[in-house]
Amino acid sequence: MPAPRVALGTHLDPLGPDELALWERYRELAEAAGPSELVVTKSRFTFKAPQRNFTGGFFKSRRLEIFFDLPSPIPERGRDARFRDVWQHSRTIWVHRLKIERVEELDEQLAGWLREAWLRTRSPPRSARDAPGRTVARMRDEALWWLADDERGGAGG
């Protein structure tokens, strides 16, 4: 069952000007990637493309933590200081988690990754089609559980 939706202000109201600037730029990049729906829950916000979420995040300690899904990992040599973690979520989905502390980090390279993430949502991942009972929503919930565990100081952080 999906988490209840809340107002965007739940996340934005406590923020200062620097964090609001991060949000505005991130939202610009996510919306430019392709048509999507902003889904806001108590713990995070996500941008949902036609088939599934392609990016999302939350604010933590005056920084923006974001994630996006790609069909393969960005090679380690292509990662920079923004990357917190990359993990294989399923056979066809690699989750990339970044920490964003300055607007300049929301650059054209990230915009390209978000566009690719959006494009990859145009059809359900093969693993969702092939695995009985394993839906895209279930895989999303598993990724969100991992992120929530990290917020509590679990294995991911």
Asked if residue 98 belongs to a domain, the reply is yes
pTM: 0.76
- Residues 77 and 56: their CA atoms lie apart, in Å, by 24
The answer on pLDDT for 126 being more than 60 is no
Residue 54 included in any domain: yes
Does residue 126 sit within a domain?
yes
Amino acid 152 reads R
Strands 45-48 and 63-70: unpaired
Assess if residue 157 is contained within a domain. Answer: no
Least confident of 28-32, 49-53, 56-60: 49-53
CA distance 112 to 43: 26
Number of domains in the chain: 1
pLDDT band at 90 (very low <50, low <70, confident <90, very high): very high
pLDDT of residue 123: 58
- Look up the domain containing 74 and give its range: 9-151
Residue 121 lies in a domain: yes
- Nearest-angstrom CA–CA distance, 147 and 157: 9
pLDDT grade, residue 22 (50/70/90)? Answer: very high
